[in-house]
């Protein structure tokens, strides 16, 4: 799961970087499917980062990576 997750993050990353931000994977719990990430740069202080996290990043990861159940910001 971790390898597919990291591949998918690399697909998402350019969109975040285009807005001056980035994403860092902090932890992957393969038993529960919970992925902990940190949004950095402009994404870390953006007022709609919660929406980006749930409607964007979490949706994409759940669709593309088998076993991902939730993405949380740390």
pLDDT at 44 over 90: no
CATH number, domain at 38? 3.30.300.130
8-42, pLDDT tens digit by residue?
999 999 999 999 999 999 999 999 999 999 999 99
Query: How far apart are alpha carbons 13 and 23 in whole angstroms?
Result: 7
State the Cα–Cα distance between residues 23 and 43, nearest whole angstrom. Answer: 8
Domain range spanning residue 8? 2-73
* Tally of domains within the chain: 1
The rounded mean pLDDT for the chain is 94
Longest dimension (CA), the chain: 33
The tokens 């669709």 sit on which residue?
A: 63
């Amino acid at each position: 799961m971790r390898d597919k997750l990291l591949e998918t993050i690399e697909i998402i990353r350019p969109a975040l970087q285009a807005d001056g931000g980035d994403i860092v994977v902090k932890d992957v719990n393969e038993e529960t499917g919970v992925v902990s990430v940190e949004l950095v740069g402009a994404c870390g202080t953006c007022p709609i980062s919660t929406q980006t996290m749930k409607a964007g990043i979490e949706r994409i990861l759940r669709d593309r990576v088998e076993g991902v159940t939730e993405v949380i910001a740390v």
